[in-house]
Structure 1
Amino acid sequence: MSVISPRSREEATSLPLPRAAPVPSAGRSGGTGSGGADSWGSEPRGTGRRTGRLRLSAADRDVLWLYLLTRAAVWTTAYCARWVFPADAGSRDPGPALASFERWDWGHFLNVARDGYFPAGDGPWNADWDNREAFFPGFPLALRAVHAVVPHWTAAGLLISFVAGGVAVLALARIARLYLPDARAGRRTVQLLLLSPCAVFLAAGYSESLFLALALPAWLAAQRRAWPLAATLAALATTVRISGLFLAAALALHFVLTVRTRADRRRLPWLALPALPAVLYAWYLHARIGDWMAWKHAQERGWYRRFHAPWEAWGTTWESAFDHVQTTGYAFMFQAELLTMLVGLALAALLIRRRRWPEAVYVVLSLWALGTSYWYTSIPRATLLWWPLWVTLAAWTLRSPRFRTAYYCLAAPLSTVFALTYLTGRWAG
């Protein structure tokens, strides 16, 4: 395995920046002083410094304050939605305080956490089966554990997302500081994520926040060549979402491009660890219902995720969006799916052009998985997991105030519409 030069290593692992702005190496703080990336996690090998402990710098506290403010905004929106848009227009009772967050996928997570995957012999052989095995066990297991302390199931799910989201935004800010020399990079990147159209799902009892709380620290660990830690965190992320395997592929490529010493090469077997949760889950499903591919088959039954050529998926989604075959609410969301696919393709092309191969692999695998079904489903939500997108947008908004203003003017109404759509029980994201 060849060793690449420091310059080519930076080119292989950095995000696209406007006009090739200088990018600090993984072993430096990114020009942010005490708020730099070295204040978190393991240090790069060979620095001669002890592994740093988790410490909150002034920049980290600023990010957490922003996070708390946006959580308050989401909860305020949820409160208003209950009163202004009740299920029954003539109702005088807005319903339970947390009912706005008990939507869609939450029901599947709750069913698994409370009753298991196949309660009382129930399963996919029944006509009314809910296909709950389509959801990986990481979030339901966390939900069941937290429920032992927090008796209310919905409150327990919201608490998981709240805590995990705080971890995720801290990690995202530190990733941004690795890539961008501007001291404002961390806060700006987090701000763009938290004000993005589908940001409401980071506050709901969904799996996105928990996944990011594991995946982003895994990526940080990889930047410091702490491969056992990176692989372990990626394995935990895979218990939450199948996207953990896409992360594992990006980590493996990053390993190949940055390996330096024989000691680094000896850590190669660790990179197989993220596949273990998926294998164990497949084994569990086979032991229960005799189907190694039960997860995929549940996706096919419940969400039409049978393989179709990318142009077929695009055509079906386009028809659903613009040919008046769906109600207006669904048609609007299919329009959002198409737009987000274009954003994802543009991001992938930019990453490839800039030779950011690991990040490109992560995004391309995500697009392939989402773009080869009968039609597009949940691509807008998937943008929450594309950390290269938010770092790239941060670079552009830091360089161009006009671009920043244009983005916020577009994102603000979309964020409000998506939040209200989800909180009032309509399909969103």
Structure 2
Amino acid sequence: MSVSAPPRAVEVPRGTAVRRPVFAWRPDPADREVLWLYLLTRVGLWTTAGAVRWLFPADGRARKPAAFLSPWQQWDWWHYLHIARDGYFPGQTGPWTAGWDNREAFLPGFPLALRAVHAVVPHWAAAGALISFVAGGVAVLALARIARHRLPDPDAGRRTVLFFLLSPCAVFLAAGYTEALFLALALPAWLAAQRRNWPAAAILACLACSVRVTGLFLLAALVLLFVLTARGRRDWRAAPWLCLPALSPALYSWYLEARTGDWMAWKHAQERGWYRDFHAPWDAWSHTWDAAFHHLHPTGYALMWQAELLAMPAGVVLLMVLVRGRRWPEALYIGLTLWALGTSYWYTSVPRSTLLWWPLWTGLASWSLRRPRVLTGYLCVAAPLATTVAITFLTGRWAG
């Protein structure tokens, strides 16, 4: 009986891009380990939320805890809920109405997803939590694969995700906020771009642009990455795909102009509601410093502004590291983000924005692989901070 020879491996010419799927349908063992870590941290956050219901009721004399999902219904959640339920301009109300909530400052991606999921999950808060839960799982898988793509160590993916999930503002990944959904689109877009799958990267970036304005900074990074890596006609034929992400903000601006007569209605709502008009970076630092240390605001707000003052220099250091390493696309993404956050009247939500800085988490993982004590030190500091921010948010106090 003859035995057939094994099939010969097909040689791939040097310089040819191997196009792998952004996500394989079957997670490998490393992916399953990351998902297990994700689930464990979700249990920890929901346990904290359950304790908050009992320990910190709105009425100190309450004999029953608050509703199960009430700790998650805070701050920006109400804007997303009102948009998903009532639309942007219900009953002919708008910026011309006294007491207007400036809801057009929030892009439509998350409210549209919330409305769609609500068709299946009747409870609005449960629908928001489900979106963030699923999106967060997609995000950590993509982040782990980005880390494994960049770092040679087999533990790189798990370690990067550990830094990310225990970051001080990690509670916002579980809340009905945009961070998890944005990352579930932006990180696979970046992963697809690294694999030179430009159509997939453009489609995902287009969706990310509908969720957060940070998607435009992602688009800039993708364009620069394309310019730096495109080789030959085959790659350049994909260049028109990179125009697609601009469609999301263009359509939203057109919609707002049709309703308000103002092409810049989104920006003007940001200015009215959150003081996001342009100021020189040194003025923004000065205003934030005054708010943090000059006893102008309640202590809870002042502490959060102190956190803003720590997060901004951390972002500048990250930018310098990326520039030094000649990682130009990531440096452009971080630089544009810092410019947008650092040129308002004062800093707002900079610590929360660190969740979107994937080079920070891969960089910390790389550093800890060279110096093991970095991980220990990070966990000892970040875990208490993450718990503090979680309790702050879940009790309805300002947490960024």
- TM (normalized to structure 2)? 0.95
Following TM superposition, by how much is the alpha carbon of 1:45 offset from its aligned partner in structure 2, in angstroms? 8.5
Out of 313, 318, 321, the residue aligned to residue 289 of structure 2 is 318
Out of 384, 389, 399, the residue aligned to residue 413 of structure 1 is 384
Provide runs of 4+ in structure 1 moved above 6 Å: none
What secondary structure, in the 3-state scheme, does the structure 1 residue paired with 2:231 have?
Answer: coil
Tell me, yes or no, if the aligned pair for 1:45 and 1:225 is still in contact at 8 Å: no
Which amino acid in 2 is paired with 1:256? V
Following TM superposition, by how much is the alpha carbon of 1:147 offset from its aligned partner in structure 2, in angstroms? 0.2
Name stretches of at least 5 consecutive residues in structure 1 with no aligned partner: 1-43
Following TM superposition, by how much is the alpha carbon of 1:407 offset from its aligned partner in structure 2, in angstroms? 1.0
Alignment partner, residue 249 of structure 1:
220
Following TM superposition, by how much is the alpha carbon of 1:49 offset from its aligned partner in structure 2, in angstroms? 7.1
What secondary structure, in the 3-state scheme, does the structure 2 residue paired with 1:285 have?
Answer: helix
Tell me, yes or no, if the aligned pair for 1:333 and 1:428 is still in contact at 8 Å: yes
Tell me, yes or no, if the aligned pair for 2:17 and 2:195 is still in contact at 8 Å: no
Alignment partner, residue 25 of structure 2:
54
The percentage of counterpart residues that share the same residue type is 69
**Alignment pair present for 1:191 and 2:158:** no
Following TM superposition, by how much is the alpha carbon of 1:53 offset from its aligned partner in structure 2, in angstroms? 3.9
Alignment partner, residue 76 of structure 1:
47
Kindly provide the CA deviation profile for residues 113-172 of structure 1, in whole angstroms up to 9, marking residues without a partner as x: 000000000111112111110000000000000000000000000000000000000000
Tell me, yes or no, if the aligned pair for 2:206 and 2:248 is still in contact at 8 Å: yes
Between 46-55 and 230-239, the greater mean CA deviation after superposition: 46-55
Alignment partner, residue 172 of structure 1:
143
Mapped partners of 2:19, 2:246: distance in 1:
32
Superposed, which structure 2 residues align to 1:306-385 within 5 Å? 306-385=277-356
Out of 88, 111, 136, the residue aligned to residue 117 of structure 1 is 88
What secondary structure, in the 3-state scheme, does the structure 2 residue paired with 1:206 have?
Answer: coil
Tell me, yes or no, if the aligned pair for 1:317 and 1:375 is still in contact at 8 Å: yes
Mapped partners of 1:177, 1:401: distance in 2:
18
Mapped partners of 1:300, 1:93: distance in 2:
41
Following TM superposition, by how much is the alpha carbon of 1:412 offset from its aligned partner in structure 2, in angstroms? 1.0
Which amino acid in 2 is paired with 1:331? A
Following TM superposition, by how much is the alpha carbon of 1:406 offset from its aligned partner in structure 2, in angstroms? 1.1
* Larger relative contact order, structure 1 or 2 (CA cutoff 8 Å, min sep 6): 1
Superposed, which structure 2 residues align to 1:12-411 within 5 Å? 46=16, 53-411=24-382
Tell me, yes or no, if the aligned pair for 1:344 and 1:367 is still in contact at 8 Å: yes
Between 392-401 and 70-79, the greater mean CA deviation after superposition: 392-401
Mapped partners of 1:132, 1:256: distance in 2:
37
Alignment partner, residue 29 of structure 1:
none
Tell me, yes or no, if the aligned pair for 1:198 and 1:381 is still in contact at 8 Å: yes
Which amino acid in 1 is paired with 2:361? W
| 1:329/1:228 CA distance change after superposition, 3 Å | same
Mapped partners of 1:293, 1:304: distance in 2:
15
Tell me, yes or no, if the aligned pair for 1:215 and 1:247 is still in contact at 8 Å: yes
Mapped partners of 1:210, 1:132: distance in 2:
19
What secondary structure, in the 3-state scheme, does the structure 2 residue paired with 1:419 have?
Answer: helix
The total of aligned residue pairs comes to 386
Mapped partners of 1:217, 1:338: distance in 2:
31
| 1:295/1:197 CA distance change after superposition, 3 Å | same
Tell me, yes or no, if the aligned pair for 1:45 and 1:224 is still in contact at 8 Å: no
Which amino acid in 1 is paired with 2:16? G
**Over aligned residue pairs, what C-alpha RMSD do you find?**
1.3
Alignment partner, residue 5 of structure 2:
none
Which amino acid in 2 is paired with 1:194? L
| 1:95/1:53 CA distance change after superposition, 3 Å | closer
Following TM superposition, by how much is the alpha carbon of 1:277 offset from its aligned partner in structure 2, in angstroms? 0.3
Mapped partners of 2:152, 2:145: distance in 1:
12
What secondary structure, in the 3-state scheme, does the structure 2 residue paired with 1:427 have?
Answer: coil
What secondary structure, in the 3-state scheme, does the structure 1 residue paired with 2:100 have?
Answer: coil
Mapped partners of 2:371, 2:46: distance in 1:
32
Mapped partners of 2:94, 2:15: distance in 1:
49
Mapped partners of 2:338, 2:195: distance in 1:
27
Which amino acid in 2 is paired with 1:121? Q
Mapped partners of 2:20, 2:35: distance in 1:
26
